Amino acid sequence: MNTKKKCVEIKASEYTEDKNSVQKCADFLKSFMLGFDLNDAIAMLRLDDLYIESFEIKDGMFLKELLS
């Protein structure tokens, strides 16, 4: 955690065996910050074929307005 920049820094080192570890870590942090349960976020680290897709809804209508 870089407290000056207020961000999390992720990088591989010479001891990193799997180069996909950095991507898995980024996916874990993203899922946790999106509000997923900790155990679900940890699943991102264990499973190779699991990924997150999300979107943000800025504008919306109530169903009542659509039926009017």
Residue 67 pLDDT greater than 80, yes or no: no
- What's the domain count of the chain? 1
Alpha helices in the chain (DSSP H): 21-33, 38-46, 63-67
pTM score over 0.85 = no
**pLDDT given for residue 3 in this prediction:** 92
Domain that holds residue 29: 1-54
The 10s digit of each residue's pLDDT in 12-66 is 999 988 878 888 888 889 889 888 899 988 887 888 777 777 777 776 666 666 5
Phi first, then psi, for residue 2 (nearest 5°) are -95, 105
**pLDDT given for residue 4 in this prediction:** 94
Assigned domain for 63 exists:
no
Assigned domain for 61 exists:
no
**pLDDT given for residue 21 in this prediction:** 86
Of 32, 60, 63, the residue nearest 45 (C-alpha)? 32
Assigned domain for 2 exists:
yes
Assigned domain for 11 exists:
yes
Assigned domain for 27 exists:
yes
